[in-house]
Amino acid sequence: MYRHTKELQYNVKPERPDALFAAKLQELVGGQFGEMTVMMQYLWQGWNCRIPGKYKDMILDIGTEEIGHVEMLVTMMARLLEGAPSETQAEAAAANPALAAVLGGQNVQHAIVTGGAAMPTNSQGVPWNGGYIVASGNLLADFRSNVAAEAQSRLQTARVYQMTDDPGVKDTLQFNLARDTFHQQQWLLGIEQLIEDGFTDGIEDSLAAEEKDEPGRTFYSFHEGSTAAEGRWAQGTTLIGDKEIQFSPGVALGDDVQEVPAPDPLLFATYDGSKGPGKPGNAAGAYGQGAENLLSKAKEKLTPGE
Ligand SMILES: [Fe+2]
Ligand SMILES: [Fe+2]
């Protein structure tokens, strides 16, 4: 259950409206690395977290804080868009073609669609979508994704910060920059805590016993004269398992050759007949294939060793 209080987490008091800056600020609201993304990412991770206690509470604390960040930016947007497009701007533009061009930088949807308010879109009008978030159920994978999200989010905030000289806007963004700095560390410390609590060794290596050994400790180079061998990633020991890292030219490790079967004649792929006639498929083909595979698997289970 969520409750709402009227107070913003931090002030958002632009000194004056600025419709053009509002168009840029959309990126920090509904862009891939905007506040909506971290908000939804952490909330979904938290709601689906299977460990009651400090992990779930921490994730939901930060997710809930991010709701407040969306609220702050949306509020700021409405204040930046106050009076835009205004009569005075329209008149000024009519009198001055250069100014008209500058004013043309306003996000027209702010005027037409939202009536002077923010939208859940990026700065180019692309709607925010759930495909931006990672909520895997695996806290190591999630926390790594969260570090990356906070880093890109902070970078974009820093860039947008330089696009305004409004002290009120700068004041808010200084707060947001600081939170992004702390949140990056929060998630990195979360990974340290996962390691300390024995949930992971710091690298996602589920099914480790099943994986092949050499590819798990080798840097493959795929161009001649590569200087990549100079880096730590190509020498020393692996971060987990204490194995020797090796640098190796990218050569074929198996005997497989890149070839694909003859095409289904009903799909009209360009084909010279060199691999014989293709198998004609139909809409039911894929279903039949799946069912056949399932049947043979079941048979294997029933008659092991055959
Ligand atoms: Fe945030
Ligand atoms: Fe954050």
Amino acid at site 300: E
**Total Cβ atoms within 10 A of residue 161:** 16
Instruction: Look up the pTM and report it.
Output: 0.85
Q: Is the peptide bond before 85 cis (omega within 30 degrees of 0)?
A: yes
Residue 38 CA to ligand 1 center (angstroms) comes to 7
Distance set, CA 244 to CA 204, 213, 231 (Å): 19, 11, 14
In 3-state terms, what secondary structure has residue 121? strand
Residue 233 has pLDDT above 70, yes or no: yes
Residue 179 CA to ligand 1 center (angstroms) comes to 7
Note the ligand closest to the C-alpha atom of 9.
Answer: 1
Q: What does the pLDDT read at residue 280?
A: 84
Residue 145 CA to ligand 2 center (angstroms) comes to 12
Q: What does the pLDDT read at residue 306?
A: 53
Residue 305 has pLDDT above 80, yes or no: no
Residue 115 CA to ligand 1 center (angstroms) comes to 25
pLDDT tens for residues 98-130?
Answer: 666 666 778 888 888 999 999 999 999 999 999
Tell me which CATH homologous superfamily contains domain 19-196: Ferritin, core subunit, four-helix bundle (1.20.1260.10)
Residue 290 CA to ligand 1 center (angstroms) comes to 45
Note the ligand closest to the C-alpha atom of 36.
Answer: 1
Give the environment of ion ligand 2: residues with CB less than 5 A.
183
CATH 1.20.1260.10 range(s) for the chain read: 19-196
Cα–Cα distance for residue pair 64/46, rounded to 1 Å: 10
Its sign, for the CA torsion 171, 174, 176, 179, is negative
Cα–Cα distance for residue pair 95/125, rounded to 1 Å: 29
**Total Cβ atoms within 10 A of residue 141:** 16
Residue 158 CA to ligand 1 center (angstroms) comes to 13
Distance set, CA 147 to CA 35, 38, 122 (Å): 14, 10, 21
Residue 151 CA to ligand 2 center (angstroms) comes to 9
> How would residue 287 be classed by pLDDT, with cut points 50, 70 and 90?
confident
Position with higher pLDDT, 291 vs 245: 245
Interhelix angle for 139-161 vs 167-196, to 10°?
160
Residue 180 CA to ligand 2 center (angstroms) comes to 5
Residue 27 CA to ligand 2 center (angstroms) comes to 15
Residue 199 CA to ligand 1 center (angstroms) comes to 27
pLDDT tens for residues 57-81?
Answer: 999 999 999 999 999 999 999 999 9
Residue 150 CA to ligand 1 center (angstroms) comes to 8
Residue 163 CA to ligand 1 center (angstroms) comes to 19
Amino acid at site 94: A
